[in-house]
Structure 1
Amino acid sequence: MKSSSIRGPGMAAILADRRARTVFSFALVGRLTYGLLPLALIFTVQRNTQSFAAAGAASAALGAATLILPYQARLIDRFGPRRVLLPVGSLFVGLLVILALASDGLGFYVFGLAGLTGACAPALGPASRHFWREWAANNEALKRSAYTLDTIGEETIFLIGPMLAGGWLAVAAPRGLLLLCALTAGLGVLGMAWQADDGGHAETRTGRQATRSIMGILREPALWPLLGVVATLAIAFGLTSLALIGRADALGGPGWAGALEAALAIGSMLGGLLWHRRARRGTALFELSGLAVLIAGGLALSAVATGFAWLASTLLLTGLAITPSFVIAYAEADVRASHRHATEAGSWINALHNLGFAGGSALGGLMIQGFSPAAAFILGSAVALITAVAALTLGRIESLARPAPGTGSE
């Protein structure tokens, strides 16, 4: 778990490789689906049911079902991306087409269909990181650079996706947007499956034993400190998401929320680029502790920001820590899990982040309703600060428990 001080190779060098460039491109096309889908589903269901409550419930069913993602990632570890992505992706595309063309006649069954669609969402992120691990072989610096590039690309997609969805919905029907989601998902899955190498994923006795338990990689105690830090940081991010929506309303309307979200996302992308150029120091938990302090400071400043420019600046500062925290978490999950379970371990980072973010969002709504957006920012800052202390403490405990160099049992 000890970090290297070697700087990673340039991202341009990674993209100079034809196969890496192809996988990265198709992964972005496929992930665009997840940037478009939330608004597409909400407005399709709302238009058919005339109820935003029903639309919200369908969206919640879609999101909750994605918690099955780590089990799909376990199959990728066991059989390889191609044998998993093609059947799962085909189901996903088919269900999106059904939602687009037949949702007006489904009534309350649309909630079940939305949940099933979420359960069949192809694990493009875990599959992409699986590719980078295999492609980088044993070059840890190269793998971290690839993870940084991948995370920056994902942040960009989740910035652009809702903007494209909003533009589409302004001029066309939402069901057409669902069909576009089916197209981008299909292209992403086919492209990644085409480039995947499933060699070396033949089922073994060890692999069969590893997948018998529903807990899977969660049986590894070394993974829990990392997952706990990721989940609590996600609570702070969820609080931030609701706080900036509340502050946008106070600035003059919900339209300001997109600009504030953009400031956060731009900060995240800049943070990834800066982190990539920085030599790593210390262990993952120590680094996450430092990033949590940056988040706490940014959110505390956001709580007292009075105008748009000041608030956007503080959110950009907060965003600087987002991409680095994901890169560190994904790389550390690889270290703490055995190689044959690395994809599943990384997908639990996503799952715990989503769970923490949902909890933070719910808490943020209560804070805004009962107090103010500033109170949500302050609570987010407090959660991030508590996370920093916890990560520092856990890192210290692990350092003390680790045998000193040159010592060991006879």
Structure 2
Amino acid sequence: MSTHAPARPSYAAVLRVPHARRAFASALTARLSYGTVSLALLLSVTRATGSYAVSGAVMSLFGATTVFLMPFRAALIDRHGPRRALLPMAALYGTLLCVLAALTWRPGAPAALIAMAAALAGACAPPLGPTMRALWAELAPEPGMLARAYSLDGVAEELLYVSGPALVGALLGFAPPASGILLSAVLIVAGTCVFVRSPGLPGPRHVSRGKRRGVVHGLLIPVAVATGAGLALSAVDLLAMAFATQHSYDTGLVPWVLGALSAGSAVGGLANGAVRWRAPARVRLCWFAAGLGLAIATGALAPGLWTLTAVMACAGAFIAPLLTTAYLLADESAAPGARTQAGAWVNTGVNAGSSTGVLLTGLLIGRVPLGVCFVLAGGVALISAVGPSAVATHRATDAPAAL
């Protein structure tokens, strides 16, 4: 009998899983909408109202309803199934995006009406990322295959958020900014229509109240670590800009720093999926969060922008592995009928941390030395790696022994 462990499944093997390619391609088409809509909405609202304050408020409302209501929309998908729940969400979301495009096509639209449409659109945004990850768990339940599938999904999502703004930029060469909102509506509706017809989509499942409580407790670590990572990464965006200004670099070079962060994430995500890990997901998650925090804190020692770029590339190598592992741990904690909601809570943690990080970093820059800001941002990721694990261990120790 052979004692060798089975080979790690390849990314090609993941895409050869029955029904995977059609579902994944259509989900990515729909999710590209989220890569295009933010920049398109920001530019079109600014053009329509002539006010950065109004566009900032509209973006905040859109982001808040999109992020904080995501777990509740995901719960509807778990309860009613993707086929019955996703299509109405996508139709409402696409319709409201068309309303936003019509309102912002020319200057002069009432700001309150734009803000209301944006808030309603965000409230209807279909959680396609969590739904696709829940589908991966159905299509490829074997742990090695699922880890590889999540890594592929994470890297693809990273590329969507890089290519989406570039696509909007190309569109602006011959059309007004509001056309980017229309493009986002077309992508989400068309992609979702194909996705919900994919074979293999799970149906509705009931989850008992007791199992829901278990899911909430099991999500403590992945959501807390994802929130800390989101906070730290959003700080990097502003810190890179402040670093360039303080060291008299052209701020046009800052995208290279952020691009290095994304490139590092893509490489790290692919490498993470290729490694056959022996440590459990909870331990790996803490390692990745600690690595991210230490790398960001090292930015305090960078003597110049290109050194900072290299440091951020190293930091990026931990991002996709961290998020992939957080999703895996959330999936392990979830009852079969609550997988979409579990993944949505991790998404919410990342985005909530990101919103908070931008606010706090903006308040700190100029009041605290820049090196200290880098250390604080990295420290948040480190605390998120240690704190929840200590709490979970304490609860496990205090729990009564089974009789």
Per the normalisation by structure 1, the TM-score is 0.88
**Match among 258, 262, 285 for residue 259 of structure 2:** 262
Q: How far apart, CA to CA, are the structure 2 residues paired with 1:84 and 1:16? A: 27
Cα 1:376–1:196 shift into 2, 3 Å: farther
CA-CA distance at 1:199 after TM superposition: 5.3
Give 5+ residue unaligned stretches, structure 2: none
Residues 148 and 402 (structure 1 numbering): CA distance in 2 closer, same or farther, change over 3 Å? farther
Superposed displacement of residue 237, structure 1: 1.6
SS in 2 for 1:280: coil
* Residues 136-215 of structure 1 mapped to structure 2, 5 A cutoff: 136=140, 138-169=141-172, 172-195=175-198, 197-198=200-201, 200-201=203-204, 206-207=206-207, 210=209
Q: 1:93 to 1:372 in 2, by over 3 A?
A: farther
Q: Which runs of 5+ in 1 are unaligned?
A: none
* 8 A contact 2:139–2:200 mirrored in 1: no
How far did 1:75 drift?
Answer: 1.3
How far apart in 2 are the matches of 1:93 and 1:102? 14
- How far 1:304 moved relative to its partner? 2.1
CA distance in 2, matches of 1:148, 1:156: 13
Equivalent of 2:112 in 83, 108, 114: 108
- Counterpart in the other structure of 1:239: 235
Write out per-residue CA displacement over residues 318-358 of structure 1, whole angstroms, 9 at most, x where no aligned residue. 01111111111111111112111111011000011111111
Kindly report which structure 2 residues correspond to 1:77-116, keeping only aligned pairs within 5 A, or say none. Answer: 77-103=78-104, 104-116=108-120
Contact 2:148 2:274 (C-alpha < 8 Å) held by counterparts: no
The CA RMSD over aligned residues, in Å, is 2.6
Could you list the per-position Cα deviations for residues 285-329 of structure 1 after superposition, in whole angstroms to 9, with x for gaps in the alignment?
321221122112211222222323211110010011111111111
2:358 to 353, 357, 361: 361
In structure 2, the CA distance between the partners of 1:395 and 1:270, relative to structure 1 (3 Å rule), is farther
Q: Is 1:271 matched with 2:268?
A: yes
Deviating more after overlay: 244-253 vs 70-79: 244-253
User: Matches of 2:14 and 2:396 in 1, distance apart?
Assistant: 33
User: In the alignment, is residue 63 of structure 1 matched against residue 79 of structure 2?
Assistant: no
Offset from partner CA, 1:81-138 (integer Å, 9 cap, x none): 11111111011111111111123434321111111111111111011112111111x4
Offset, 1:399:
7.1
Contact 1:249 / 1:256 at 8 angstroms: preserved in 2?
no
For the residue of structure 2 that corresponds to 1:370, the secondary structure is coil
Matched position secondary structure for 2:9: coil
- After the TM superposition, which of the residue ranges 182-191 and 315-324 deviates more from structure 2? 182-191
1:127 aligns with 2:128: no
Distance between the aligned counterparts of 1:95 and 1:305, measured in 2?
45
Say if 1:8 and 1:144, in contact at 8 Å, map to a contact too.
no
Whole-angstrom CA distance in 1 between matches of 2:214 and 2:97: 31
Q: Which amino acid aligns with 2:70?
A: L
**8 A Cα contact 1:298 1:314, kept in partner:** yes
Q: Which residue of 2 aligns with 1:252?
A: 249
Q: How many angstroms does 1:71 deviate by?
A: 0.9
Check whether the contact 1:6–1:141 (CA below 8 A) recurs between aligned residues.
no
Q: Given the superposition, is the C-alpha separation of residues 216 and 69 from structure 1 closer, same or farther in structure 2, using an over 3 Å criterion?
A: farther
1:20 matched to 2:20: yes
Distance 1:398 1:277 in 2: 34
Query: What SS does structure 2 have at the residue aligned with 1:235?
Result: helix
Matched, 1:38 2:38: yes
One-letter amino acid of the counterpart of residue 228, structure 1 = A
Residues 215, 335 of structure 2: 8 Å contact kept: no
Cα contact 1:218–1:224 (8 A) shared by 2: no
Q: How many residues align?
A: 394
TM-score for both structures, normalised by structure 2: 0.90
Task: Please point out which of 374, 379, 383 is paired with 1:377.
Answer: 374
